[in-house]
Structure 1
Amino acid sequence: MPAARRVAVAGAAVGGTAALASGGGSLAAAAYFARKVLTPDARRPDDVVVRAADAHSVTLDTTAETVVPGRYGLWLEEGEGHARVGEVLELDAASGTVRRELLGVDRGVLGPGPARWNQYFHGSPPDESLGLATENVTYEGELGAMPAWVVAPDGVTTSRWAVLVHGRGARREEAIRAMPPLLAEGWTCLVPTYRNDEGVPEGPDRRYALGLSEWRDVEAAMAYAVDRGATELMLVGWSMGGAIVLQVLDRSDLSPMVGRVLLDAPVVDWGDVLAHHARQHHIPRPVGSLARVMMRHRVGHRLVGVHEGVDLALTDWVRRADELDHPLTIIHSADDEFVPFGPSLALAQARPDLVTFHEWRLARHCKEWNTEPDRWESIVREFASG
């Protein structure tokens, strides 16, 4: 098709959707929404306030996060410091504060001031957080050298490797929680990075592709594991890491080596996630629809700032359920405020022959381990055994 004709066709598609949006939104609003979804955060802002601390407890402003049971971390001093907190000791409705158990200050000074809630619980690499012998390695990705951690059971590399894929805008520390049960079952743990992570090569457009390009970086990590002697691979993904894993299973030549897949609060359908956030932010439905068209069609790429199209239909694994052929274990909370658990449940219902679903309550996004660590680790150990 001639270039002029391609532009005309794509322009007609965008224009048609823009006409639908004209009463409740605009092209600029749709482009802004799409960019927010696809652009890595330049910085991670503080989201909680420390009011007081002593040797055994910390008092915080009450938020939707700070009152949930479980164990969590606090980034201090714009991420330079870190503390770990435990269960709620006291709720003071009059002052709007919550006092929680203080489990330790790993670095920095814990005192009154801003902080950032951290579901990873661990705020340092595995050698510092858990005393695990950790190799800092690099593997060659499509865009250059990518850093990774390798942690082996008792320091001895095995032939079974688990590749642990963190979520959108997250750090590798997110994966440390999974290491103890996996190591106990004899799996060598590889925690890779992918494009647009902090301190690694950026994508050509400096945008996320929601798994549609990041999967190639994870595939490169899998190839590294195979080069190191892996004969069986396990893929573990959190949030967008789950979306990346699902693309790996679909597209990678190495997918036949994957025998087990574990997803925690995964994005099973990006269209559902975007619709959820559009509703939360009172974005008219036509504007959200236009944003999806702009991500996908070439004529919208310049406005959205993407190098290659992001077709959300390719990320809808409820619709594509019949295409799956790997057994999946999914852990997802019904109270996930960021990635609704509906598509995870729907996928399990669509493919009961392949998908084992573990439903959580209370836990917010990617915080299932935090609220019930013993249950979470028991599921992972059973999944990884044998």
Structure 2
Amino acid sequence: MASKNRPAGGAAENKLSVGTKWAVAGVLTGSSLAALVGAGSSALAVYFARRVITPAARHEDQEVLAVIKDGPGLQVILAATPDTTIDGVFSLFFEGGRGHARIGRIVSYSPAEQTVLREVEEVYSGNLSEARRGWWSGAVYPDPAAIGLAAEDVDIDVEGGKAPAWLVRADPAASAAIWAIMVHGRGATRLEGLRAVRTARELGLDSLLISYRNDGLAPSALDGRYGLGSTEWRDLEAAIDYALAHGAEEVVLFGWSMGGAISLQAADLSRHRHLIRALVLDAPVINWVNVMAHHAEMNRIPYNVGRYGQLMLSHPLGRRLTGLSAPVDLKAMDWEARAVELRTPTLLIHSVDDDYVPFEPSASLADKNPDMVTFEPFHGARHTKEWNVDPEKWERLVGSWLQRQLAPRRNPGDASGPAQA
């Protein structure tokens, strides 16, 4: 069962005095947009809001200090960061993403020198010896072939064109009755879902690893902005259409981070929602207001400025500043508040030290709807890296929980007793 929620922190206590008036700088008007802080704070709020919804290139913020020979293999010396000092298996992307290496266990760590020595398990592309910077990722594998699985390249019809996807069959000779659809997170790609494919395959599920608007593979949205799940779920709907047209009778949705928000939207709004057998969500966004408040606090943005940024995203007049073609209904995506409305069996996996998407809303959702929601906490995994730090635990939890959800349903007219899990 879910752990008790910890306090969210002091951001909510940092309110301005009651007599303080908020001022919108010129563009936003009307009684519902009661004025906010001055032009400087307004500009900060605009910047904050646009950062949340604007796709951005990955920054090579990880320093590569040296690559050394270790017998037939390689080791890499990296600048120590909160990510690189977590034991497990990860990826280092370099050369602007053209290079990709799978990084394994920690060999040694020097707090004094702030360096860490790790094994290099495999270099998939690029010349790691020449790399000086890169970015760290939990997306370990470059394609299904890297985990020994064949895949079909398929295209899914979405708004604006076709979205590439990988289809990995559980049984190459037949289509499974239930498909797993893997939905990656904000700023990630379909590589993220490869960590779950073997677990799905062992349960007899075909896996469809999708792309969606603004992820660099699928067609971009007309406004070039993330909808935080409020628009992207339509691309997931198209993927469900594809699965049903190619042999699936039901689907299980796997979602990471914003992919969790997208999956929850589909379970709520899709015309096929009755065919969504279960949700498996890893570090999901359950409540965007909570996430935005957390990031405002981390970046020392005043509470009221952060709230103004949320208001700009959700109010129709805010479109002129954010560039959104339509406002984002943050309340409709608050599954803490809507907990009893979630009627799809859901597994939530979330590390309690996640500093990007706080775990408390996941725990809260499970507390409020224990009949539908199971919460499994991890420790020391940070954001969406639960599999990376303990793949055996992740696969065991997901496999056993899904096996129970996928057990044959008892016919209401069958008096022989309950089905066995």
Category of TM-score, reference length = shorter chain: over 0.9
- Of 106, 130, 148, 1:131 maps to 148
SS at match of 1:155: coil
Per-residue CA deviation, residues 331-384 of structure 1 (Å, 9 max, x unaligned), is: 000010100000000000001111111000000100000111000011121133
SS at match of 2:376: strand
Give the counterpart letter for 2:137 in structure 1. N
- Aligned partners of 1:61, 1:86: CA distance in 2, in Å? 15
Give the counterpart letter for 2:359 in structure 1. F
- Aligned partners of 1:45, 1:217: CA distance in 2, in Å? 27
Normalising by structure 1, we get a TM-score of 0.93
- Aligned partners of 1:171, 1:296: CA distance in 2, in Å? 26
Identity %: 43
Per-residue CA deviation, residues 309-340 of structure 1 (Å, 9 max, x unaligned), is: 11211111000112111110010000101000
Q: Does 2:113 correspond to 1:95? A: yes
**Cα 1:263–1:17, aligned 2, differ >3 Å: closer, same or farther?**
farther
Q: Is the 8 A contact 2:163 2:217 kept in 1?
A: no
Counterpart for residue 350 of structure 1: 368
Q: Does 2:29 correspond to 1:11? A: yes
- Aligned partners of 1:212, 1:355: CA distance in 2, in Å? 22
Give the counterpart letter for 1:66 in structure 2. T
- Of 183, 196, 210, 2:201 maps to 183
C-alpha deviation, 1:15, in angstroms: 4.3
Q: Does 2:275 correspond to 1:275? A: no
- Aligned partners of 1:261, 1:92: CA distance in 2, in Å? 41
Counterpart for residue 14 of structure 2: none
- Of 184, 192, 214, 1:196 maps to 214
Per-residue CA deviation, residues 93-133 of structure 1 (Å, 9 max, x unaligned), is: 232110012211111111251111111111x1212x11211
Give the helix-richer structure, 1 or 2. 1
Q: Does 2:49 correspond to 1:34? A: yes
SS at match of 1:153: coil
Q: Is the 8 A contact 1:40 1:208 kept in 2?
A: yes
Q: Does 2:99 correspond to 1:81? A: yes
Counterpart for residue 118 of structure 1: 137
Counterpart for residue 148 of structure 1: 165
Moved more, 52-61 or 220-229: 52-61
SS at match of 2:29: helix
**Cα 1:58–1:289, aligned 2, differ >3 Å: closer, same or farther?**
same
Q: Is the 8 A contact 2:211 2:217 kept in 1?
A: no
Counterpart for residue 310 of structure 1: 328
Give the counterpart letter for 1:118 in structure 2. S
Q: Does 2:241 correspond to 1:223? A: yes
**Cα 1:13–1:243, aligned 2, differ >3 Å: closer, same or farther?**
farther
C-alpha deviation, 1:300, in angstroms: 1.4
SS at match of 1:262: strand
C-alpha deviation, 1:13, in angstroms: 4.3
C-alpha deviation, 1:56, in angstroms: 3.5
Q: Is the 8 A contact 1:14 1:293 kept in 2?
A: no
Structure 1: stretches of 5+ with no match in the other structure: 1-9
**Cα 1:317–1:148, aligned 2, differ >3 Å: closer, same or farther?**
same
C-alpha deviation, 1:144, in angstroms: 2.0
- Of 40, 60, 65, 1:46 maps to 60
SS at match of 1:278: helix
Give the counterpart letter for 1:296 in structure 2. S
Structure 2: stretches of 5+ with no match in the other structure: 1-27, 408-421
**Cα 1:155–1:285, aligned 2, differ >3 Å: closer, same or farther?**
same
- Aligned partners of 1:226, 1:93: CA distance in 2, in Å? 53
- Aligned partners of 1:184, 1:17: CA distance in 2, in Å? 56
Counterpart for residue 307 of structure 2: 289
C-alpha deviation, 1:26, in angstroms: 2.1
